[in-house]
């Protein structure tokens, strides 16, 4: 959901675009949507509930910026749908459809969704179910470690990551998060070793290049840091960390013109610190959509009465 406003400065009208919320589901991610609705008291027979997953290739705000607000509707494709009949009263437990993902994968997807909604304890519990169902699944242990790193439970995160590496010592994801944990523990040599292994296996990994560059920079190894940040910029010309650090490194190495270019690109691309103010102002006057900016929220039938939006609306 985007908002725009205008202000006048020296007889010029400036249009400001701000993002009030973004519920995009990126590739490889999951989302947990919660609905609550009232059943009319006079219903006696079974009711049917249908859930659908629709796909739109481009965001509505992007389409509006390119084609204008009055452009023809962009196609929306139904990817999946499921209907369940619910009896009034007791309902028997239904098994999964034969075409459904296996249980361990569904638990894993649930854990990803819970992690993205900052429900760390629930995410760890979901990933633990994955481990119970698949003891040899390295990503199950890595996902527990990742969640606990974000949750700032570093000791238990180390246990999970060590278990992942005991199953597969060359697992890139586990090595990456082990590198972050080694940095926190002050084990610089192991930290560098972990990140270098990831870069060797995946030279296009932006995260590994970025973290390895930061490690070298912290160790005052400016030439190796420069190599990583330049590689990162070749992979992603818009990476802010690369712009920021290259501006410093170029200046220290006597290349003021390159440093000025990187500084200019950093200033141009960094997030406007005033943007949240515009978004909060929009949400204050549109309470019917304000809950969409909260990762964990509930959709109710009252939302539709108040003019609410569908989950994922832009």
How does DSSP assign 150-180, residue by residue? HTT-HHHHHHHHHHHHHH-TT-HHHHHHHHH
38: buried, middle or exposed (CB in 10 Å: 19+, 13-18, 0-12)?
exposed
The domain 203-270 having CATH identifier 1.25.40.10: the answer here is: yes
Q: What is the pTM of this model?
A: 0.83
Same fold, 101-202 and 203-270: yes
CA-to-CA distance for 25 and 31, rounded, in angstroms? 7
Where do the domains of the chain lie? Answer: 101-202, 203-270
State how far the Cα of 25 lies from the Cα of 19, in Å rounded to an integer.
16
Closest CA to 298 of 37, 25, 26, 54: 37
Cβ within 8 Å of residue 91, ≥6 positions away: none
Provide the CATH topology of domain 101-202: 1.25.40
Distance CA 50, CA 82 (A): 6
Element (H, E) at 97: none
What distance in Å separates the CA atoms of residue 98 and residue 83, rounded to the nearest whole number? 15
Specify the pLDDT at position 8.
Answer: 44
CA separation for the pair 282, 277 (Å, rounded): 9
Rounded (10°) CA dihedral 62, 63, 67, 71: -150
Alpha helices in 6-152 (DSSP H): 60-67, 103-116, 120-133, 138-150
In tens, the pLDDT along 55-86 reads 888 877 788 888 887 888 888 999 889 998 98
Given a cut of 50, the residues of the chain with pLDDT beneath it are: 4-17, 307-314
pLDDT of residue 312: 43
Position 204 scores a pLDDT of 98
* pLDDT at res. 19: 62
Q: Which residue has the tokens 């410093």?
A: 248
């Amino acid at each position: 959901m985007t908002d725009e406003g205008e202000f006048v400065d020296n007889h010029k009208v400036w249009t400001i675009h701000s993002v009030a919320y973004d519920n995009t589901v990126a590739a490889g991610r999951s989302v947990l949507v919660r609905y609550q609705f009232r059943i009319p008291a006079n219903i006696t027979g079974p009711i049917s509930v249908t859930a659908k997953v629709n796909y739109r290739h481009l965001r509505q705000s992007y389409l509006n910026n390119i084609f204008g607000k009055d452009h023809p509707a962009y196609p929306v494709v139904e990817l999946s749908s499921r209907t369940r009949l619910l009896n009034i009263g007791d309902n028997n437990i239904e098994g999964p459809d034969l075409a459904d993902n296996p249980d361990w994968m569904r638990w894993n997807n649930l854990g990803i969704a819970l992690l993205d909604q900052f429900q760390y304890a629930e995410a760890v519990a979901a990933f633990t179910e994955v481990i119970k169902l698949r003891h040899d699944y390295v990503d199950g242990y890595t996902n527990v470690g990742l969640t606990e790193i974000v949750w700032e439970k570093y000791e238990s995160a180390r246990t999970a990551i060590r278990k992942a590496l005991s199953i597969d010592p060359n697992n890139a994801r586990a090595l990456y998060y082990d590198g972050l944990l080694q940095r926190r523990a002050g084990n610089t040599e192991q930290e560098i070793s972990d990140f270098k292994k990831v870069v060797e296996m995946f030279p296009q990994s932006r995260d590994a290049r970025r973290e390895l560059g930061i490690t070298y920079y912290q160790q005052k190894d400016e030439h190796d840091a420069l190599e990583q940040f330049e590689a990162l910029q070749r992979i992603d010309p818009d990476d802010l960390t690369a712009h920021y650090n290259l501006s410093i490194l170029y200046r220290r190495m006597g290349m003021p013109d390159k440093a000025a270019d990187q500084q200019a690109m950093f200033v141009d691309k960094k997030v406007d610190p005033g943007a949240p103010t515009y978004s909060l102002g929009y949400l204050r006057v549109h309470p019917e959509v304000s809950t969409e900016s909260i990762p964990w929220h509930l959709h109710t039938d009252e939302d539709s009465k108040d003019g609410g939006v569908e989950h994922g609306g832009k």
